[in-house]
Structure 1
Amino acid sequence: MQSVINTVKGTALGVAGYLTPVLKESKFRETGVLTPEEFVAAGDHLVHHCPTWQWAKGEEAKIRPYLPADKQFLITRNVPCYRRCKQIEYCEDKEKVIEDENDADGGWVDTHHYDNAGSPALEEKVCEMTLEAADTGDSDDGAADGGDDDEDEDDEGEAEDMEQFQESGLLDEVDPSTDLAQRTELKLKADKKQKQGEGDEIVRTRTYDLHITYDKYYQTPRLWLIGYDENRSLLTVEQMYEDVSQDHAKKTVTMESHPHLSGPSMASVHPCRHADVMKKIIETVTESGGEMGVHSCLIVFLKFVQTVIPTIEYDFTQNFSIN
């Protein structure tokens, strides 16, 4: 039902955007909106300071006449996403108060201290290490008790003569072809485990392509994203929503058609609140005695939309100056 509402709303806004006149006079400081010229200037500033972003033209039939033909929207590709949003959600069971005698407040809270607690893979590895130590008789006490003896034996023993070892024929007992076959078999088993989903310890990285367009109706930048799995296959809609803050999924972030490209729908951060947020930031900077230029607005924009997609690591821009 929500997807139907979003589709109808998107169509209506598309018509409204078509009928909305192009903003000619700057109102950035008063309302936080941009003219197309200001959007281009801010895009040039972003590309200059963060070369992973580039201008794109899009399809010839979808060129907007109020923007330069070769600067229709901004794009950055292959942005990594290592974790799902649910993995960084706050949970009381994972937090621990870290005591600090030098802190006047008595310490601080580590909200993900017990992130690995109860992990079957981790517990299994710990158990294996413990059992190996028990079977071989290795322990901290044994190391402490026999440490001097080991050092004495190392000092008194003679180094092995490698020529004599080679002449003894022991090296010939290892068949290189057999060793290679064993390693190949182990590799095939590991690959099979991974395909069956048993290799959970392997980090599978998703990547995203991000676009920034100019929204004529809201007169603000708008962020679009499309995701791929480790095989560069398109993520499903539900998979992409896994990488969006659950407070915004299917509400602030919806699947819509890209204004400059054909093809599958892309996830988009709805721009209805962008101008209000930008206005508040401008006011805060002004009250602090600074001044935020329109050229830096896209850098600021990327920072405040990070709360919507916190696990997609796209923001490598510099800190902006308020002076």
Structure 2
Amino acid sequence: MDNLVNQLKSTALSVGEMFTPVLKESKFKETGVLTPEEFVVAGDHLVHHCPTWQWSRAIDAKHTKEYLPENKQFLITKHVPCYRRCSQMHYDSNLEKIIKEDGDNGDAQDEWVDTHHFAPETTQKVEHADVVEKAPVSNADDDDDDDEGPPMDMDSFIASGGLEEEDPNRYIAPIAKPETQNSTSGDNIVRTRTYDLHITYDKYYQVPRLWLIGYDENKQLLKEEQMNEDFSEDHANKTITIENHPFLNIHMASIHPCRHAEVMKRLIEQLADNGKELGVHQYLLVFLKFVQAVIPTIEYDYTRSIQL
């Protein structure tokens, strides 16, 4: 029954998107949403600073959205490592270190906590999965595919300062990579899951939307229950559901975008209260920061050195 309800709601949202007019006037500062043109600007900025992300075309003309450039339909990054399951994440105060950095004027110091500073590092090679064109078709077990769904865990993000500091990536803790021995060849290889991530523009909610598809250590597509092991328990089958990709003929896991504009609006207001301003071109850099709370073990964030 839950699967049927999810399918009906997904169909209803698709119909709603068809009748939703394309946003023409910028409402970024007022409501945290984007026009398609602003989405492209933000995407260009992401690609420029993070070359692991690239623009992609739709699979065919039928799936191409006329309100986006033909060669910039959605963003994609491939072979993103996921070294461990969410259940393996345990807090250890012995790994913490307080980091002090000089302020903008060189006279004051900023302090932040690196929660995995003393975690062991590895230098092993990573075996990545090859690209697989087809994904398994499945449906989420639980129904939370609407505005009543729980927000991403943003209260802690906001309370911790969010983007108050110039470098918001400091709130994303590095993840220790486990050491694994390849018993066959004797070489040191980290055999790990990998994910392909896509960012699309959701015309109905007028915000970016993140999609994921995973592969196991043997380069085989992960099943839905396996991918749920890599999602925050509070969001698997709730904020994250399996839906049809708008630009490809496949089903993928997706973080539902119903709360994205709300979170972005709060971050814009927080910055304004501190005399700072967030540019629309920075949207996706910030977006990738706050969705990390949903998929904490998927290491897609390569923006650590970027100052917003």
- Same fold per TM (> 0.5)? yes
In the alignment, which residue of structure 1 is the partner of 2:58? 58
In the alignment, which residue of structure 1 is the partner of 2:20? 20
Q: Distance between the aligned counterparts of 1:318 and 1:26, measured in 2? A: 28
Offset of residue 96 of structure 1: 6.9
Secondary structure at 1:30 match in 2: helix
Offset of residue 215 of structure 1: 0.0
In the alignment, which residue of structure 2 is the partner of 1:230? 217
Q: Distance between the aligned counterparts of 2:87 and 2:27, measured in 1? A: 39
Secondary structure at 1:24 match in 2: coil
Is residue 280 of structure 2 the alignment partner of residue 279 of structure 1? Answer: no
1:254–1:27 distance in 2 versus 1, CA, 3 Å: same
- What aligned pairs does 1:163-182 form with structure 2 within 5 A after superposition? none
Segment of structure 1 superposing worse, 266-275 or 5-14: 5-14
Deviations 1:59-95 (A, max 9, x none): 12200000000000000000000000000055xxx76
1:231–1:276 distance in 2 versus 1, CA, 3 Å: same
In the alignment, which residue of structure 2 is the partner of 1:29? 29
1:49–1:95 distance in 2 versus 1, CA, 3 Å: closer
Q: Distance between the aligned counterparts of 1:312 and 1:230, measured in 2? A: 14
In the alignment, which residue of structure 1 is the partner of 2:243? 256
Give the conservation status (yes or no) of the 8 Å contact 1:46–1:298.
yes
Q: Distance between the aligned counterparts of 1:21 and 1:82, measured in 2? A: 42
Matched residue type, 2:69: P
Secondary structure at 1:256 match in 2: strand
Matched residue type, 1:29: K
Q: Distance between the aligned counterparts of 1:190 and 1:317, measured in 2? A: 35
Deviations 1:38-60 (A, max 9, x none): 00000000000000000000212
In the alignment, which residue of structure 2 is the partner of 1:290? 276
- Long gaps (5+) in structure 1: 99-107, 114-188, 195-200
Matched residue type, 2:201: Y
Secondary structure at 2:198 match in 1: strand
Secondary structure at 2:208 match in 1: strand
1:313–1:230 distance in 2 versus 1, CA, 3 Å: same
In the alignment, which residue of structure 1 is the partner of 2:295? 309
Matched residue type, 1:6: N
Give the conservation status (yes or no) of the 8 Å contact 1:245–1:307.
yes
Give the conservation status (yes or no) of the 8 Å contact 1:215–1:221.
yes
- Long gaps (5+) in structure 2: 97-112, 119-181
Greater Rg, structure 1 or structure 2?
1
Offset of residue 204 of structure 1: 3.0
Is residue 72 of structure 2 the alignment partner of residue 71 of structure 1? Answer: yes
Deviations 1:108-153 (A, max 9, x none): 9x89x9xxxxxxxxxxxxxxxxxxxxxxxxxxxxxxxxxxxxxxxx
In the alignment, which residue of structure 2 is the partner of 1:269? 255
Is residue 6 of structure 2 the alignment partner of residue 6 of structure 1? Answer: yes
1:55–1:202 distance in 2 versus 1, CA, 3 Å: closer
Give the conservation status (yes or no) of the 8 Å contact 1:49–1:318.
no
Matched residue type, 1:11: T
Q: CA RMSD in A?
A: 3.1
Matched residue type, 1:73: F
Structure with higher helix content: 1
Structure with higher strand content: 2
- What aligned pairs does 1:98-177 form with structure 2 within 5 A after superposition? none
Matched residue type, 1:54: Q
Offset of residue 5 of structure 1: 2.8
Matched residue type, 1:258: H
Q: Distance between the aligned counterparts of 1:308 and 1:239, measured in 2? A: 15
Deviations 1:274-307 (A, max 9, x none): 0000000111111111111000000000000000
- What aligned pairs does 1:182-201 form with structure 2 within 5 A after superposition? 190-191=183-184
Offset of residue 11 of structure 1: 1.1
Matched residue type, 1:222: R
Matched residue type, 1:302: L
Offset of residue 6 of structure 1: 2.4
Q: Distance between the aligned counterparts of 1:85 and 1:75, measured in 2? A: 23
